[in-house]
Amino acid sequence: MKTKTTIYDISRELKLAPSTISKVINGKGKVSDFTRKRVLDYIDEIGYVPNNSARMLKSGRSYTIGVIFSEELSIGLEHPFFSSILQHFKTYVENLGYELSFIVSKLGKHKLSYYEWCVNKKVDGVYIVVGDYKDKGMIELTKKNIPIVSTDIIFDGIKTVISNNEEGIFLAMEHFIKSTKEIGIITGPLHSKAFKERYDAYVNFLHKNNININKNYIIESESFGFTSGYNACLNLLKQANPLPKALVVGSDEIAVGVLKCLNDNKIEIPNEIEVIGFDDNIYSRYVTPSLSTIAQNKVEIGSLAGKYLLDMIENKTKLDSVTRVGVKLIHRESTKKY
């Protein structure tokens, strides 16, 4: 029977110290790029999988992070923004030896709270990708002594990394105001913190620029996706006569539905109405017309969330502030150029 390869076997084969092999595998300590590549290429060639048992015993950690992706919001793992953020978070923490485990409400036949699940699985920390503010189990979890980071919700006691929503809306509004003060908004559900911040920024911009708020120009989408965006646009067409000359939309997924609705109703974009979305997801550049949008830095958001959570886990620091990541306006065919 073949015995399991150890770091001592690798060190003998490569004529390197076991401590050097350990540094490379764990991603810690100073090792030259040449040596690091040599070790990584070798362990990839032989299919070596490190045994974490000794590391777990020594550190008292499980090297597992629990992930909450709220099913109550009906967003789904295929959501282009949140799935991308999760992937960048995953890449960051896995490169440092951690693995992810999704937190679920049942373990076999037993129903568990988020906190009970975390205790059962002995996770070192929790990443809330997207959550529901009314979720009592999540509120309970945030009050426990466990490191938590989120890229969506803002609660006392947890670290949050999100885009600068006010900056994004102001960029869109500053573009529109060059040609019109008739600016409307189709926002996502306002129980979402991000959508609420974007709506508030829209209102604040109008106040700061002494522009009257036209309630007929404001529509709240029922949900997060294409169909809700299409239906919200239909409501705007019924409610606003005449239509606004410009429209900021709370997310790209909603905005794609808005574009479809405007096209179906023979409303020319951008000549009759300009549209700017929020996210810069994969769909925004391929729809017709292509969607101008506020681009969120998904790589930085996911990576920073990973960095902050591991800092809390490994250094036992307490982080509970909000970090806002910068955004930028991407001009495409749904807006005019000035």
Over residues 288-305, the pLDDT tens digits come to: 999 999 999 999 999 999
State mean pLDDT over 76-82: 69
- pLDDT over 90 percentage in the chain: 56
Most confident of 5-14, 58-67, 100-109, 220-229: 220-229
Q: Do the bridges between strand 125-130 and strand 64-69 make them parallel or antiparallel, or are there none, so unpaired?
A: parallel
Assigned superfamily of 64-162+298-325: Response regulator (3.40.50.2300)
Span(s) in the chain for CATH 1.10.260.40: 7-51
| Fold of the 7-51 domain | 434 Repressor (Amino-terminal Domain) (1.10.260)
State the pLDDT at residue 72: 52
pLDDT at 82 over 70: yes
165-296 has which CATH code? Answer: 3.40.50.2300
Selection from 318, 313, 308 nearest residue 60 by Cα: 313
Contacts of residue 337, defined as CB under 8 A and 6 or more positions apart, other chains included, come to 331
pTM, full prediction: 0.79
Please tell me the predicted confidence (pLDDT) of residue 75: 57
Q: What are 116-136's pLDDT values in tens digits?
A: 888 888 899 999 998 777 788
The stretch 253-258 carries a mean pLDDT of: 96
Which residue's entry shows tokens 């409610």? 239
The boundaries of every CATH 3.40.50.2300 domain in the chain are 64-162+298-325, 165-296
**Helical segments of 153-192, H only:** 165-176
Tens of pLDDT along 316-326? Answer: 888 889 999 99
DSSP H or E stretch at residue 41: helix 33-46
